[in-house]
């Protein structure tokens, strides 16, 4: 029997981590008679939902087994009950069990969960109509993510992430990963690994900052390069365990739905094409705001200061520029209108920017000066007169093309520039063994 097991919403701000619970589940069910049909799938969903704790990641395990569902379900539920932070008011774990082939309706549900809000009740109805089973805790909002992870089989572009977890006694402490070794690893493995560090600020990106169990996570194009990249790190604390995930991270999977401005709804991840309708303005904190219009409406777009390169590009836009804006729709609040929080912009066509200047003397080439109010302009040297200013086209400091946030401002799903041209097609198949284990990962795949 083929079985898909999806689960989500086990992260917490006090240290809970869905992917770590996946590691515990992998170890438990590997003791049963199961065959893994794929790497664990780490599926990032709409990053703009208001209730997400961290990266809004759900997980699916795809297995083949001769065992009955009873032992598997019991093992998974037991680990979740013992290991999830059920005391955190923001956690609402859900576990989904689905046997057989994944129906198209569940795939469509998963596609929608990448960019929109979907309800637990709709997930439960869909699951029951196709013979699946769900177990929810504290409302079971994680059933949405669990079902969405099952429906996303990563048949198109995908990447991999090798995550190492730390010993419990180190939770909440500074992660002891040598920055110099991260810089060297990035230099030797890029572009086959990505978003290891932000070169502009020097910030290390493979180590999170919270109290969760993750020690480090390296993202890349293949299992082989991730094993080699991890072996280059100098780590000053124990590695408790590790897992290699196949994932939709770094693929822009959430930004494929295009919308007219008049159809935008809060919390959606969107792509909108329109014309810049107000000059960019810089507000307190260095954030850049401009308006975008497409004939169905007008909306503010914001490039926040931490987006770095994107913020700089937004400052150079002008009224009339035709662009595609990608990002999440923030709902209106007191003093703030509805806004697209930008992740990237694509400049399609630049407007001509004209500036009125005093005319130049046709005889000597010097700039003319005002001859008095309403009296035109006159050259002091030659006496030549002119009636009005002339329009001069100003060279633009921005060109048509794609502009992304600096890596420190990327979401998990953001596709970095280094991945353009490295996209994959098709599925994956059974994983290379081993793909999880205790202690540090091997230096290379077998």
Task: Look at residue 363 and tell me whether its pLDDT is greater than 70.
Answer: yes
Answer for the pair 113, 16: CB distance below 8 angstroms, yes or no. no
- Please give the pLDDT value at position 310: 97
Q: Say how far apart CA 87 and CA 266 lie, in whole Å.
A: 29
Task: Look at residue 423 and tell me whether its pLDDT is greater than 90.
Answer: yes
The answer regarding whether domain 2-151 maps to CATH 3.30.70.2200 reads: yes
Portion of the chain with pLDDT greater than 90, in percent: 78
Residue 191 makes CB contacts below 8 A (sequence gap 6+) with: 221, 418, 419, 422
| Total residue length of the chain | 446
- Average pLDDT score over residue span 105-112: 97
> Per-domain residue ranges for the chain?
2-151, 159-251+420-429+434-438, 256-353+394-410
329 pLDDT band, cuts 50/70/90, is very high
Mean pLDDT of all residues belonging to the chain: 94
Answer for the pair 425, 156: CB distance below 8 angstroms, yes or no. yes
374 pLDDT band, cuts 50/70/90, is confident
Alpha helices in 152-222 (DSSP H): 179-189
62 vs 52 pLDDT, higher one:
62
- Please give the pLDDT value at position 446: 65
Name the nearest CA neighbour of 327 among 344, 313, 311, 306: 344
- Average pLDDT score over residue span 204-219: 95
Answer for the pair 391, 229: CB distance below 8 angstroms, yes or no. no
In which region does residue 196 sit, left (phi positive, over 0), alpha (psi from -120 to 50) or beta (all else)? alpha
Task: Look at residue 13 and tell me whether its pLDDT is greater than 80.
Answer: no
285 pLDDT band, cuts 50/70/90, is very high
- Chain centre distance of CA 281: 26
- Average pLDDT score over residue span 102-122: 96
- Average pLDDT score over residue span 267-281: 98
Task: Look at residue 445 and tell me whether its pLDDT is greater than 80.
Answer: no
Task: Look at residue 314 and tell me whether its pLDDT is greater than 70.
Answer: yes
Task: Look at residue 193 and tell me whether its pLDDT is greater than 70.
Answer: yes
Task: Look at residue 235 and tell me whether its pLDDT is greater than 70.
Answer: yes
414 vs 429 pLDDT, higher one:
414
Task: Look at residue 15 and tell me whether its pLDDT is greater than 80.
Answer: no
- Chain centre distance of CA 252: 7
- Average pLDDT score over residue span 128-155: 94
Answer for the pair 277, 292: CB distance below 8 angstroms, yes or no. yes
CATH architecture of 159-251+420-429+434-438: Alpha-Beta Complex (3.90)
Buried b (16+ CB within 10 A) or exposed e, 373-384: eeeebbbeeeeb
Alpha carbon distances (Å) from 42 to 56, 145, 224, 268, 361: 10, 11, 18, 21, 68
85 pLDDT band, cuts 50/70/90, is confident
For the chain, the distance separating the N- and C-terminal CA atoms, rounded to the nearest angstrom, is 28
Task: Look at residue 122 and tell me whether its pLDDT is greater than 90.
Answer: yes
- Of the CATH numbers 3.40.1180.10, 1.10.620.20, 2.40.50.1010, 3.90.79.10, which one belongs to the domain with range 256-353+394-410? 2.40.50.1010
Q: Say how far apart CA 119 and CA 127 lie, in whole Å.
A: 13
Task: Look at residue 139 and tell me whether its pLDDT is greater than 90.
Answer: no
Q: Say how far apart CA 89 and CA 130 lie, in whole Å.
A: 31
Beta-strand (E) ranges in 106-208?
Answer: 133-136, 159-166, 193-194, 197-198, 203-204
- Average pLDDT score over residue span 42-62: 91
- CA atoms within 13 A of residue 393's CA, in its CB half-sphere: 5
pLDDT tens per residue across span 390-407: 989 999 999 999 999 999
- The yes-or-no answer to whether 2-151 and 256-353+394-410 have a common fold is no
């Amino acid at each position: 029997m083929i079985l898909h097991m999806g689960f989500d919403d086990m992260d917490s701000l006090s240290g809970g981590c869905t992917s770590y619970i996946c590691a515990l589940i992998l170890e438990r069910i590997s003791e049963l008679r199961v065959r893994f049909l794929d790497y664990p799938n780490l599926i990032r969903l709409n990053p703009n939902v208001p209730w997400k704790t961290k990266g809004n990641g759900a997980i699916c395990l795809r297995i083949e087994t001769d065992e009955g569902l009873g032992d598997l379900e019991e093992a998974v539920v037991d680990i979740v009950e013992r290991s999830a932070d059920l005391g955190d008011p923001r956690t609402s774990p859900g576990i989904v069990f689905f046997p057989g082939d994944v129906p198209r309706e569940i795939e469509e549900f998963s596609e929608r969960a990448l960019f929109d809000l979907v309800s637990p009740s709709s997930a439960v109805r869909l699951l029951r109509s196709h013979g699946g089973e769900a177990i929810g805790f504290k409302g079971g909002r994680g059933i949405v993510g669990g079902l969405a992870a099952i429906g996303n089989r990563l048949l198109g572009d995908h990447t991999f992430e090798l995550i190492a977890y730390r010993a419990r006694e180190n939770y909440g402490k500074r992660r002891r990963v040598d920055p110099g070794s991260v810089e060297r690893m990035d230099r030797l493995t890029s572009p086959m690994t990505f978003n290891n560090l932000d070169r502009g600020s020097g910030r290390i990106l493979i180590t999170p900052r919270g109290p969760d169990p993750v020690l480090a996570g390296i993202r890349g194009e293949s299992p082989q390069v991730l094993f080699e990249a991890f072996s280059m790190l100098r780590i000053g604390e124990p590695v408790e365990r590790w897992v290699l995930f196949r994932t939709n991270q770094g693929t822009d999977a959430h930004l494929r739905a295009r919308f007219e401005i008049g159809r935008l709804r809060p919390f959606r991840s969107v792509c909108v094409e329109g014309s810049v309708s107000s000059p960019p303005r810089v507000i307190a904190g260095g954030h850049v705001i401009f308006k975008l219009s497409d004939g169905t409406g007008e909306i503010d777009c914001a490039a926040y200061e931490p987006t770095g390169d994107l913020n700089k590009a937004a400052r150079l836009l002008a009224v009339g520029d035709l662009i595609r804006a990608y990002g999440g729709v923030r709902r209106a609040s007191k003093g703030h209108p509805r806004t697209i929080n930008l992740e990237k912009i694509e400049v399609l066509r630049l407007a001509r920017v004209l500036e009125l200047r005093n005319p130049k003397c046709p005889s000597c080439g010097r700039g003319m000066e005002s001859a008095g109010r309403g009296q035109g302009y006159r050259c002091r040297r030659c006496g030549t007169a002119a009636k009005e200013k002339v329009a001069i086209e100003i060279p633009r400091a921005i060109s048509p093309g794609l502009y992304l946030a600096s890596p420190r401002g990327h979401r998990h799903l953001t596709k970095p520039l280094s991945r353009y041209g490295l996209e994959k097609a098709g599925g994956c198949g059974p994983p290379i063994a081993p793909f999880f284990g205790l202690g540090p990962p091997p230096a290379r795949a077998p």
